[in-house]
Amino acid sequence: MNKTLFFRAMLLALALCIVSGIDAVAAPKPTAKPKAVAVADQPKMQAALVSLKAAKEALDQATADKGGHRVKAMKSVNDAIKEVEAAIEFDRTHSGAMENKK
């Protein structure tokens, strides 16, 4: 299997896992004490974060010449990682306020 086909298959699998909500990868084990953690520390968001970091690593290892698309994908993945991390932190610090709205 050539690298391009492997890369496309991996991205498709990643996208399907994220869209369907399948926990394809276990959430990372925290190394430090978490801050104010919500009742359930967002296992789907954690799984998405792990998947995005795996996609970033795969993009980093891919050959460079992709007509600029690899670089754009890397930026998009980095932006997505930041957004997921921000969403997790937001939920951790605002979960009480959100519960009151239900």
**Per-residue model confidence as pLDDT tens digits over 5-64:** 555 656 656 665 565 554 444 445 555 555 544 445 789 999 999 999 999 999 999 998
Q: DSSP character for 68?
A: T
Q: Does residue 30 fall inside a structural domain?
A: no
Q: Does residue 55 fall inside a structural domain?
A: yes
SS3 assignment, position 28:
coil
Can you give the residue range of the structural domain that contains 93? 3-25+42-100
Q: How many folded domains does the chain comprise?
A: 1
Positive or negative, the Cα torsion across 66, 68, 73, 75?
A: positive
Q: Does residue 12 fall inside a structural domain?
A: yes
Note the pLDDT of residue 65: 80
Q: Does residue 33 fall inside a structural domain?
A: no
Q: Is the pTM of this model over 0.75?
A: no
Note the pLDDT of residue 56: 96
Note the pLDDT of residue 37: 47
Q: Does residue 60 fall inside a structural domain?
A: yes
First-to-final CA distance of the chain = 50
Assign residue 2 a region: left if phi > 0, alpha if psi is -120 to 50, beta otherwise? beta
